[in-house]
């Protein structure tokens, strides 16, 4: 139930749905308007009339795909109808954009008449560079795609068929390599006769499986020559001349089982009866035909893949369609043909056999991957997939004559693809996965807050952290029920906890010479301050980190932390850091929240601590100490303070890339930075240290609200143990992000 609420909240919060249209040209002045619309727009219209290919030059057609569906086969949910399928089509658009920077309009057609769908797509051809058919049931989907490929001059691709086929075929090639079997010698059984099963079988045959060695089954058993019941022309293509009549019979002695059917369709007995070193692709979603645990429980020589992200070897269509369309669009292909599909298969298979870089391992919580039984297909978040599949598709399109705009310089094309990838989109997932590799106990001082409770559910479900909630136990339990949360985490109620007296005595020991009596300490612990209680949990080792501040003022979270945990020895202050995530870049800003008018010493501390935190997040720090002066261009006490801070940083951290004093634009604009050839900073800074709280606080808020940056923080630096501050406006996602950062902070102590 909680997952359901989380999904509904995800889709309904803020702007409804998952997509929006953003203008790519300015429209701020009357002159802009006259160019965007009348009269200026007449010029590209006339140019396109004279030369239709100019549509790719003057409009978005060349990077625009239609995701077309009638909702008759939505995920594993069946015929939900066009409207109910819209969230899936929007989601498809998000994946196109996220993985290949392709724009999408989702088109839901309220008809089950295949000829009407064909006609609609044909009428849309002037608008789009390609069409992705989605969630249309078989056998109509076969007919629709066949007719569109015959009649249209842009790529048409039914991902439910070919996406799964391409990914599992790549995995099959690698699995066969590991078990030293030749594809022409294997016997393969396909359970399922729908769109994806049909395409998987066809592509396996195209790769070398002998048709006589291919057995397909549906709900009525083996599809054999002469069978009448439940047949159609598309099943007839795979009717085998065989004595097998049941899936169980066909599985005996088989080398490969492809499952595109339903949960539990493959039994342990079937697995036991297969040939040595069997290969099983149990691709039913959300639950596979047989789980890896069940298969490995029967025999140890099995290689298994599923559609699930929580198991190795995930057959995930997102490894295919974004990059297939990227390559097809970039050469203005008129079709996606069999040769292009096979090119994608071989590109994915080859990539999985290459050494996996650390960046991919970091994106999955530092899990190490190498070619073998548990890694036969690349990971969806591997950025190299774009660089392997899109060029392979483009090259195959050129080789087969369907490319209308061939790529003259393939190395340059690769560079263009690589430059389109930004680390900013992956940064939080990388941090979250790092946290998941070794989750820590994070205590929340405001455990009764609805958003804290919902965030705790996410943290538990994803294995990011081990939440501890502080608050009234009955109230928290009641809120969990109200929110339909199935959350089993420790709840600490200071009013009756057996630890309260111990914490009060320890607080008295820490603060007895700073104005607190034992009775006051007891009152603080029992009733007055849950922040004190949470910090004491961290101090006593009962929790690893604290998050607080969702419904309190900033000082109310920091003050108890300083009183109980204190700042690191040798530091003059604690400092605040914000991570600002833009579409293409990530910047870290400090101090944005704590020190009002820092000294040169405090500025140096801020820079060093910020660099250490950024390094913990597996990002190489490059520090700019900001001022209104560029390297001595203005002689003023404020600029001299920053100049002295730079000297201190270089003395204390000689290996750190740091420069200043410098103006903000010099720090982040390569052309301006290039003018200072003596600068140690050769590429734009990613850590910006502000000369005072005024400038830092103002800047991060403007960047967040006007610049479109996602602000993650504040990250509190310089404490003896990790404490981080939430903001009153934080949503569930913000809280989850901060918890992940807190866990990573603990991991690096």
Active site residues: 37, 92
Phi, psi of 633 (to 5 degrees): -70, -20
* Listed residue (604, 535, 611, 546) closest to 572, CA to CA: 604
Report the C-alpha gap between 400 and 470 in whole angstroms: 65
CA-CA-CA-CA torsion sign (220, 225, 228, 233) = positive
Report the C-alpha gap between 499 and 503 in whole angstroms: 6
Report the C-alpha gap between 89 and 66 in whole angstroms: 10
* Listed residue (143, 127, 137, 138) closest to 64, CA to CA: 127
* Listed residue (206, 327, 193, 183) closest to 261, CA to CA: 193
CA-CA-CA-CA torsion sign (358, 359, 363, 369) = negative
* Listed residue (591, 600, 602, 596) closest to 687, CA to CA: 591
Report residue 333 as tokens: 């292909």
Report the C-alpha gap between 552 and 530 in whole angstroms: 11
User: Three-class SS string for 354-389?
Assistant: CCCCHHHHHHCCCCCCCCECCECCCCCCCCHHHHHH
Distances (CA, A) of 618 to 219, 255, 341, 386: 50, 43, 36, 23
- Max intra-chain CA distance, the chain: 94
Other CB atoms within a 10 A radius of the CB of residue 342 amount to: 17
Burial 253-279, CB ≥16 within 10 A → b, else e: ebbbbbbbbebebbbeebbebbbebbb
Other CB atoms within a 10 A radius of the CB of residue 318 amount to: 20
* Listed residue (489, 155, 530) closest to 344, CA to CA: 155
Report the C-alpha gap between 707 and 701 in whole angstroms: 9
DSSP line for 141-160: HHHHHHHHHHH-SS-EEEHH
Residue 28: CB partners within 8 Å, gap ≥ 6?
Answer: none
Query: Where would I find the beta strands (DSSP E) of 363-465?
Result: 441-444
Report the C-alpha gap between 327 and 102 in whole angstroms: 11
Secondary structure class of 572 (helix, strand, coil): coil
With vertex at residue 178, the alpha carbon angle to CA 252 and CA 216, rounded to the nearest 5 degrees, is 35
Report the C-alpha gap between 485 and 6 in whole angstroms: 10
Report the C-alpha gap between 427 and 446 in whole angstroms: 27
DSSP line for 302-354: -EEEES-TTSSSB--GGGTHHHHHHHHHHTTBS---HHHHHHHHHHHHHHHHS
Secondary structure class of 12 (helix, strand, coil): helix
Secondary structure class of 491 (helix, strand, coil): strand
Secondary structure class of 581 (helix, strand, coil): strand
Q: Strands across the sheet with 188-191, in order? A: 221-222, 214-218, 188-191, 256-259, 279-282, 303-306
Report the C-alpha gap between 379 and 356 in whole angstroms: 10
Q: How far is CA 515 from the centre of its chain?
A: 50
* Listed residue (367, 349, 351) closest to 359, CA to CA: 367
């Amino acid at each position: 139930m909680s997952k359901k609420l989380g999904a509904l909240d995800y889709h309904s919060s803020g702007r409804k749905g998952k997509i929006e249209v953003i203008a790519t040209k300015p429209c701020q002045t009357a002159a802009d308007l006259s160019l965007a619309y009348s009269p200026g727009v007449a010029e590209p219209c006339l140019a396109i009339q004279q030369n239709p290919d100019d549509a790719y030059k003057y409009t978005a057609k060349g990077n625009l795909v239609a995701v077309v569906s009638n909702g008759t086969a939505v995920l594993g949910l069946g015929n939900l109808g066009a409207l109910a399928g819209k969230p899936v089509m929007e989601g498809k658009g998000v994946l196109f954009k996220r993985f290949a920077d392709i724009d999408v309009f989702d088109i839901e057609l309220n008809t089950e008449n295949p000829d009407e769908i064909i006609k609609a797509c044909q009428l849309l051809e002037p608008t789009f560079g390609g069409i992705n058919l989605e969630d249309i049931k078989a056998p109509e989907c076969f007919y629709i795609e066949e007719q569109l490929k015959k009649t249209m001059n842009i790529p048409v691709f039914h991902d439910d068929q070919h996406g799964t086929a391409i990914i599992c075929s790549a995995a099959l090639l690698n699995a066969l390599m590991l078990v030293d079997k030749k594809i022409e010698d294997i016997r393969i059984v396909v359970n399922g006769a729908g769109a994806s099963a049909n395409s998987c079988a066809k592509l396996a045959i195209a790769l070398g499986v002998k048709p006589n060695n291919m057995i397909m089954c549906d709900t009525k058993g083996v599809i054999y020559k002469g069978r009448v019941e439940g047949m159609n022309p598309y099943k007839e293509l795979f009717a085998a001349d065989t004595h097998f009549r049941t899936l169980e019979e066909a599985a005996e002695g088989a080398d490969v089982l492809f499952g595109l059917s339903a949960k539990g369709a493959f039994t342990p007995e079937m697995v036991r009866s297969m040939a040595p070193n069997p290969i099983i692709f149990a691709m039913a979603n959300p639950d596979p035909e047989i789980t890896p645990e069940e298969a490995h429980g029967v025999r140890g020589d099995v290689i298994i893949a599923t559609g699930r992200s929580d198991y190795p070897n995930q057959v995930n269509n997102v490894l295919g369609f974004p990059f297939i369309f990227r390559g097809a669009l970039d050469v203005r292909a008129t079709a996606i043909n069999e040769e292009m599909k096979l090119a994608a298969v071989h590109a994915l298979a080859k990539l999985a056999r290459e050494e996996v870089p650390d960046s991919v391992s970091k994106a999955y919580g530092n899990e190490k991957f190498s070619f073998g039984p548990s890694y036969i297909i690349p990971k969806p978040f591997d950025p190299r997939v774009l660089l392997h599949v899109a060029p392979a598709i483009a090259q195959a399109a050129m080789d087969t004559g369907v490319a209308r705009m061939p790529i003259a310089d393939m190395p340059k094309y690769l560079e263009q693809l690589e430059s389109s990838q930004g680390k900013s989109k992956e940064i939080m997932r990388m941090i979250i996965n790092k946290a998941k590799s070794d989750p820590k106990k994070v205590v929340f001082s405001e455990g009764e807050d609805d958003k804290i409770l919902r965030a705790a559910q996410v943290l538990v479900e994803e294995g990011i952290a081990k939440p501890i909630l502080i608050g009234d136990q009955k109230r928290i339990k009641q809120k969990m029920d109200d929110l339909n949360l199935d959350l089993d985490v420790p709840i600490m109620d200071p009013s009756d906890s057996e630890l309260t007296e111990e914490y009060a005595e320890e607080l008295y020991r820490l603060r007895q010479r700073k104005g607190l009596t034992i009775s006051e300490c007891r009152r603080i612990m029992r009733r007055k301050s849950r922040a004190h209680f949470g910090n004491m949990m961290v101090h006593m080792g009962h929790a690893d980190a604290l998050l607080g501040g969702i419904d309190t003022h900033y000082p109310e979270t920091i003050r108890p932390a300083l009183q109980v945990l204190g700042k690191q020895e040798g530091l003059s202050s604690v400092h605040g850091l914000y991570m600002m995530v833009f579409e293409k870049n990530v910047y870290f800003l400090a101090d944005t929240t704590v020190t009002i008018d820092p000294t040169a010493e405090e500025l140096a501390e801020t820079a060093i601590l910020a660099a250490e935190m950024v390094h913990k997040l597996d990002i190489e720090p490059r520090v700019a100490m900001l001022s209104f002066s560029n390297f001595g261009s203005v002689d003023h006490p404020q600029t001299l303070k920053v100049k002295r801070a730079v000297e201190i940083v270089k003395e204390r951290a000689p290996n750190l890339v740091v420069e200043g004093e410098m103006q903000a634009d010099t720090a982040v604009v390569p052309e301006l930075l290039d003018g200072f050839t003596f600068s140690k900073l050769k590429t734009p800074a990613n850590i910006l240290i502000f000369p005072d709280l005024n400038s830092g606080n103002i800047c991060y808020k403007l960047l967040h609200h006007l610049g479109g940056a996602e602000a993650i923080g504040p990250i509190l630096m310089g404490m003896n143990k990790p404490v981080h501050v939430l903001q009153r406006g934080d949503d569930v996602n913000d809280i989850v992000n901060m918890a992940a950062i807190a866990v990573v902070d603990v991991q690096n102590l």
